[in-house]
A and B are shown apart, each in its own frame.
Chain A
């Protein structure tokens, strides 16, 4: 068990999150990808907190905050998706394009 593994895992998770964020067409999946990225961040925070700051564990406190905010953000995000769905009857990300070229 080394710190690098944690960090690499977190980075991989973040990359998957980003991939999902950019490539998904479903808005809920985009929100899910954001959750993945937040979790990757949390892993980082926990890893650093355990290996570098085992006595004060400030990273764990941050993690708690991040989870809290992530929950709030997911709530707001889902509400927005719902609002858009009520208007446009779809949650396809490529349909939400109001700019004209």
Chain B
């Protein structure tokens, strides 16, 4: 069979890049007269092309051997860097997921960005994201993964800072850039150190190398910790999670994409690095600890939020924590499955919240309420998304968590408990958000809440369909864990934890109570969680404080010590000139004196340094 589509798969990122470039023509400063809507339509068309291309390619590569394409990128004096592309069911499947969700997000943005002038910039950035993500999914080289991660970091900065006239957007974009940058930089250290041991950055060759690798434990530990640091920041894991919270200042279509896919880029790199990371026990332990801490902490923090976007953003951190756990125990397929189900479910949740926010203005869920009767579609979408995220059979998330749970039972049974707790907490959080937003009595902000434009509803409903069909799709592609191998009790436990969370939230929030559920926990715990464990203050006191003090000291040293030394030489010359001019006294007799003294001095010097050789005794003085 002809492999036209899979062999030209590298075109997929290029479509988006072309779209991004062309979209900029409709910037308000360039095409001034006709508005910037064509930028959006063009990009949606390009994304559709990319989607169709990837679907056909997936058909071709399905159950085919993995292919690899290499382009030389740099050959210089013993260094050969090639751009490796891996064409497998996983990578092309990732392209389908990315482009598919991108189409939906971009169509959604037609409705969401209806009243916005910045379509050119917005769609250019969305397509740039798509290009970067597709490139990352395809590339089979750690080096180029890093390149794409950096591009996405920059793009995150730009898209979070989309409405840059708002002060919180500017600080949020700043934090998103720097936090991710720190992780990327540590990753770069790891990447460069890895080269000196392996001489290759190709993931497959790295995996082969690990079989013969013989590193000292300390080297392996440091190396693996550096490699983890990049995904740690990308996936918004503790303690680098604040940026994702602040990145909720951006437009919702971008948030939905970032929370579902962009955050998973770090996890994707982590999964591909798993063979290398398995070299070090400490790094695996580190991943387990970080993953569990983030999963539990993130889902607890999510419960204490009142901002509808932030209730979801911390769940993203929690689910990425699961991916960390999965990679730490070597369950790569479970991690990939988790990324897939999480991406679909989280996009759907964000789409649903976006429709609420656009028509009810407020994002504060305590001000929302009782919109289900008027907005059944959004409510159903939220329910389906939530069901897809937590473990409720037969939805997608159940299978991914089941798969992971099965691995955990064999390796670390205690982490199964963590998973159940997080699942229950997430279920509680989602149900709480649903009850506060959709159930209850309408409040002032939701008195009139009309369903939104078709452009937002249609992609949402398409995604509802996809979510509902996800188990079938997974079955079609043999992605479901084999039922026979599974421990059935885990399924029951997962279901039980989800039901527990849901019913608890329903009991607490559905009935109109005199005492608000928030009053059931001590205020300080509430404050602690609502303020994200005061992580902002911790940053400010530790890293930011330290860097700012050090930079002030250095700036002071530069200004006063380094500059001072040079300036003092200048001042010295000036001062000496000013002082020494008084030697020109204007008294001619003083000049005579200095001539005489000079002469005497010169004579003395000559007499002392040279033997003048004037011997008076040789002269006969008595001739007369």
A interface, CB within 8 angstroms of B? 1-4, 18, 21-24, 30, 50-52, 54, 93-94, 96-99, 101
A101-B589 contact, Cβ under 8 Å, with A50-B624, A51-B621: no
Taken together as a complex, chains A and B put the C-alpha atoms of A64 and B302 apart, in Å, by 116
A52 & B619 in contact (Cβ 8 Å cutoff): yes
* Chief secondary structure at chain A's binding surface: helix
B585 & A21 in contact (Cβ 8 Å cutoff): no
B589 & A98 in contact (Cβ 8 Å cutoff): no
Please indicate the chain A residues that have their CB under 8 angstroms from the CB of B619 in the complex: 3, 51-52
A51-B587 contact, Cβ under 8 Å, with A21-B592, A22-B592, A22-B593: no
A97 & B621 in contact (Cβ 8 Å cutoff): no
Interface size of B by Cβ–Cβ distance < 8 Å?
16
Please indicate the chain A residues that have their CB under 8 angstroms from the CB of B486 in the complex: none
Please indicate the chain B residues that have their CB under 8 angstroms from the CB of A99 in the complex: 584-586
Taken together as a complex, chains A and B put the C-alpha atoms of A1 and B621 apart, in Å, by 9
Q: Does B588 sit at the interface, judged by CB under 8 A?
A: yes
B624 & A51 in contact (Cβ 8 Å cutoff): yes
List the 6 closest A-B pairs by CB distance, nearest first. A99-B586, A3-B621, A97-B586, A22-B593, A22-B589, A2-B621
B interface, CB within 8 angstroms of A? 582, 584-589, 592-593, 596, 616, 619, 621-624
Taken together as a complex, chains A and B put the C-alpha atoms of A23 and B590 apart, in Å, by 9
Nearest neighbor of B621 in chain A, beta-carbon distance: A3
A97-B587 contact, Cβ under 8 Å, with A22-B592, A52-B619: yes
B587 & A94 in contact (Cβ 8 Å cutoff): yes
Taken together as a complex, chains A and B put the C-alpha atoms of A24 and B587 apart, in Å, by 12
- B623's contact among A54, A94, A97, A101, by CB below 8 Å, is which? A54
Report A37 CB to chain B, min CB distance, Å: 10
Taken together as a complex, chains A and B put the C-alpha atoms of A4 and B596 apart, in Å, by 23
- A93's contact among B587, B622, B623, by CB below 8 Å, is which? B587
Please indicate the chain A residues that have their CB under 8 angstroms from the CB of B621 in the complex: 2-4, 51
- A98's contact among B586, B592, B616, by CB below 8 Å, is which? B586
Taken together as a complex, chains A and B put the C-alpha atoms of A73 and B621 apart, in Å, by 33
Please indicate the chain A residues that have their CB under 8 angstroms from the CB of B593 in the complex: 22
B624 & A1 in contact (Cβ 8 Å cutoff): yes
Please indicate the chain A residues that have their CB under 8 angstroms from the CB of B616 in the complex: 4
A101 & B624 in contact (Cβ 8 Å cutoff): no
Taken together as a complex, chains A and B put the C-alpha atoms of A97 and B584 apart, in Å, by 11
Please indicate the chain B residues that have their CB under 8 angstroms from the CB of A93 in the complex: 587-589
Other A-B pairs beyond A30-B589, A96-B588, 7, CB < 8 Å: A2-B621, A22-B589, A22-B592, A24-B589, A51-B621, A54-B624, A101-B582
